[in-house]
Amino acid sequence: MVAIEQDRKVTQLKTAAMTETTDTPTEHHVDLAVPGYHGQEVELGRETVGNVRCDNAFMVAENVNVYYGDNHAIRDVTLEIGKKQVVALIGPSGCGKSTFLRCLNRMNDTIETARVTGNILLDGTDIYSKQQDPVALRARVGIVFQKPNPFPKSIYDNVAYGPRIHGLAGDRSELDGIVHSSLERAGLLKEVKDRLEEPGTSLSGGQQQRLCIARTIAVNPEVILMDEPCSALDPIATARIEDLMDELCEDYAIVIVTHSMQQAARVSRRVAYFHLGYLVEVDDTDKVFTNPQHKLTEDYITGRIG
C-alpha cells in the first residue's frame, strides 16, 4: 500500500513538473486525483478507458509493467493489436509509448536494468516465456526507428542483411528477388534501382527511412513496430511513408508511435493514449479524436498539453 502511495506521489510530482502548473501538490497530498492542467483536477484512473480489446487480436499485452531500475516506466498496460491494423500510440514525451513499443519485440532486453512483467502474446504464444528466443521473435516483429539507421553498407546489402542472416534465400537470384520486391514495396525501387551498390548512407533522409522499412519487410515479419518513423523527415517524405503504411497494413499489423496527432488520425485504425506510464484511453481512431472519453486524452488531442 505504501508503495502504491509513493508511486502516486511520484506521479503527481512528475505531472506538476511536466505541465509547469503553479499549484504544486504538497507531499502528503495522496489520492487518485492528479493535479490537472490549468488548475483542474483530473482523475488518472487505473482502468483504461475505451476498448482495449479488438476482434482479430494478433498481439495481446496483458498487465504489462516495465521497470528501468527503480523507475516504473509502464504501469499495468493491457492492449490488443489486431491483424491488418494500424495502432497508433500517442502521448506526451516520457509517457512510456516507446518503451511499450520496444517491449513488443523484446528490444528492452538489450537494456541491462530493464525488467518486464505481465504477458505479451504473439499469435497465442507468450513472447517472454523461457522457450522464446528473442532473436527469432525480432524476425517476426520488425522495428523501424525514429532516426533512419541504414548500415554503412550498400543499399543492396542493407536490404539483403536480414534475409542473409536468416537464410531466407537459397541462392543469389532468390536474394535479388527479395531485395527488389522489398524495395518495391517500400516505394524505393524506382529511385535506387540503378545504384544498388552505392552506400545506404548516401540516400536522403526520407529515402533512408524507406530503405530501413524495406530492410524490415525483407525479413517478412508479421508485425511492424514504428518508433516515430517520420519525426526526422520533411512533410513530403512523411507523406510517402504514410502512404506506405496504408499499403503495408494490408499484410501486417503495424504499431506506430507518433507525436503528430494528424499523423495518428491519418494512418491508424485505433489510437492508444499513454500518460505517465498508464494507458489512459484506447479506441477507434475516429472515436478518440471526435469524442474522447477521458479528460486527459481530450486535453492532449486538443493541444492543451503535450
Partner 1 sequence: MQSTTLILLLGFFSIGAFYLGRGHSLSLVGGPGKGMALHSLPGYYGYFVAIWVVLPALTLLLGWVLIEPKIVTALVVSGLPDSYQSLSAGELNLLVNNIRNLASGDVVSIAIDENLRGAADSFNDYLAKSRQLLAVLVIGLAALGGAFAWRKIHPDLRARNKVEGVVRWALIGASSIAVFTTIGIVLSVLFEALMFFQKVPATEFLFGTTWSPQTAIRADQVGSSGSFGAVPLFAGTMLITGIAMFVSVPVGLMTAIYLAEYSTSRIRGIAKPLLEILAGIPTVVYGFFAALTVAPWVRKAGESAGFEVASESALAAGLVMGIMIIPLVSSLTDDAINAVPASMRDGALGLGSTRSETMTKVIIPAALPGIVGGILLAVSRAIGETMIVVMAAGLAANLTANPFEAVTTVTVQIVTLLVGDQEFDSAKTLAAFALGLMLFVVTLILNVIGLHVVRKYREQYE
22 binds partner 1 (CB under 8 A): no
Q: Is 137 in the site for partner 1 (CB under 8 A)?
A: yes
Strand order of the β-sheet with 71-82 is: 71-82, 57-68, 114-122, 125-126
Q: What character string, x for contact with partner 1 (CB under 8 A) and - otherwise, covers 268-287?
A: --------------------
For partner 1, what does the binding mask look like between residues 140 and 159, x meaning CB under 8 A? x-xx-x-x-xxxxx------
Among 36, 50, 162, 229, binds partner 1 (CB under 8 A): 162
Task: Count the residues of the shown chain that bind partner 1, applying the rule CB under 8 A.
Answer: 28
Q: Examine residue 161 and tell whether it contacts partner 1 (CB under 8 A).
A: yes
Q: How far is the CB of 104 from partner 1 (least distance, A)?
A: 11
Could you say whether residue 111 binds partner 1 (CB under 8 A)? no
Among residues 4 and 136, whose Cβ is nearest to partner 1?
136
Query: Is 78 or 181 the residue whose CB approaches partner 1 more closely?
Result: 181
Q: Which amino acid is at 159?
A: V
Alpha-carbon Rg for the chain in angstroms:
20
The answer to whether residue 165 forms part of the interface with partner 1 (CB under 8 A) is yes
Nearer to partner 1, 103 or 301 (CB): 103
Question: Do residues 192 and 207 lie in contact, with contact meaning Cβ atoms separated by under 8 Å?
Answer: yes
Is position 166 an interface residue for partner 1 (rule: CB under 8 A)?
A: yes
**Is 136 one of the binding residues for partner 1 (CB under 8 A)?**
yes
Could you tell me whether strands 278-284 and 270-275 are parallel, antiparallel, or unpaired per DSSP bridges? antiparallel
Residue that has been written with the C-alpha cell 507523406 in this structure: 239
210-229 binders of partner 1 (CB under 8 A): 212, 215-216, 219
Antiparallel, parallel or unpaired: β 33-35 and 114-122: unpaired
Q: Crossing angle for the helix pair 205-217 and 235-248, nearest 10 degrees?
A: 20
Is position 138 an interface residue for partner 1 (rule: CB under 8 A)?
Answer: yes
| Per-residue contact string for residues 39-68; x = within reach of partner 1 by CB under 8 A | ------------------------------
- Binding to partner 1 in span 171-210, by CB under 8 A: 201
Check binding of 112 to partner 1 (CB under 8 A): yes
CA–CA dist 183, 132 (Å, integer): 30
**Distance in Å, CB of 125 to partner 1, minimum:** 16
Q: State the residues that interact with partner 1 by CB under 8 A.
A: 105, 107, 110, 112, 135-140, 142-143, 145, 147, 149-153, 161-162, 165-166, 201, 212, 215-216, 219
